[in-house]
Structure 1
């Protein structure tokens, strides 16, 4: 379990994703984006808008269950991205680097960018905006309310 929590608001996420787009703009042009689901979807949408990228693909990787980390599993491949040439890979966060390593293997020629990075994983990405300590759990706006509430699908039927 994390020792510290870093709460990211919608406004902060938007500002940080736009800052990432600013850095990526000068490195382009880009053929498309591969968003790592689920966390990379919203930053990818913001970056796609800012860079006027219309081709947005996704790769689905499952590694987390609340605060428990498990082995990374690909549940959807980014077919349109080929080997990644000209593509941006976008995620909200690189933590241990396990997801990044897996996606880099799928798209070795893509440029990997995250909004947030932890020390153990930051070597796996090409561009990021904010570094947080390894013992910090980032609470993204789509995961939080004033208190943690489990997703509806986990409730009783």
Structure 2
């Protein structure tokens, strides 16, 4: 089992969400906030509150087979119930996830949101795991990939809502 590289507290989580919210505010608040289920919903709801956005939705896109550090991944992200996004025609959407490793989950979710008709899709991530990012061979840096990024770390992240 992989070790924990970053063990976020609720206080640190709130600070990261506040940083993201401030950066989003500069570009204008979105009309809809979408969280990647499961982990992305908590920061999505936090951001929605901080930004005053009442339309919060979820999309289930999974890439890991378990919640444990170093868990195996599927070859491609799995989409569950793509219709859960509803109609997003002409809307400005902020997509939020707790962690990005390879970036494949968010790439898939962005495509789902575009297919639902969003006019604009911005991405916000609390933490990028740079070990998985590098292993995936992505040429661009995480800060250049996501519109809003609070932290990076070299390894597995444990969030305050996860089993201790």
Partner of 1:87: 93
| Structure 2 unpaired stretches of 5+ | 115-119
2:107 aligns to what SS in structure 1?
Answer: helix
Distance 2:150 2:62 in 1: 23
TM-score under structure 2 normalisation?
0.78
Instruction: Give yes or no for the alignment of 1:16 onto 2:16.
Output: yes
| Deviation per residue, 1:88-144 (Å, 9 max, x gap) | 0011111111101111222243101111123427254221011112xx100111213
1:143 aligns to what SS in structure 2?
Answer: coil
TM-score under structure 1 normalisation?
0.81
Distance 1:46 1:4 in 2: 24
Question: Do the aligned residues in 2 keep the contact of 1:8 with 1:139 (CA within 8 Å)?
Answer: yes
Partner of 1:74: 79
What does 1:8-157 correspond to in 2, within 5 Å?
A: 8-64=8-64, 65=66, 66=68, 67-70=71-74, 71-77=76-82, 78-82=85-89, 85-108=91-114, 109-119=120-130, 120=133, 122=142, 123-133=144-154, 136-145=155-164
Question: Do the aligned residues in 1 keep the contact of 2:129 with 2:156 (CA within 8 Å)?
Answer: no
Distance 2:28 2:160 in 1: 29
Q: Alignment RMSD, CA only?
A: 1.9
Range moving further from structure 2, 45-54 or 63-72:
63-72
| Structure 1 unpaired stretches of 5+ | 146-157
List structure 1 runs of 4+ shifted beyond 6 angstroms: none
Partner of 2:117: none
Q: How many residues align?
A: 142
Shift in alpha-carbon separation, 1:5–1:52, aligned structure 2, 3 A: same
Distance 1:115 1:138 in 2: 10
Distance 1:33 1:131 in 2: 22
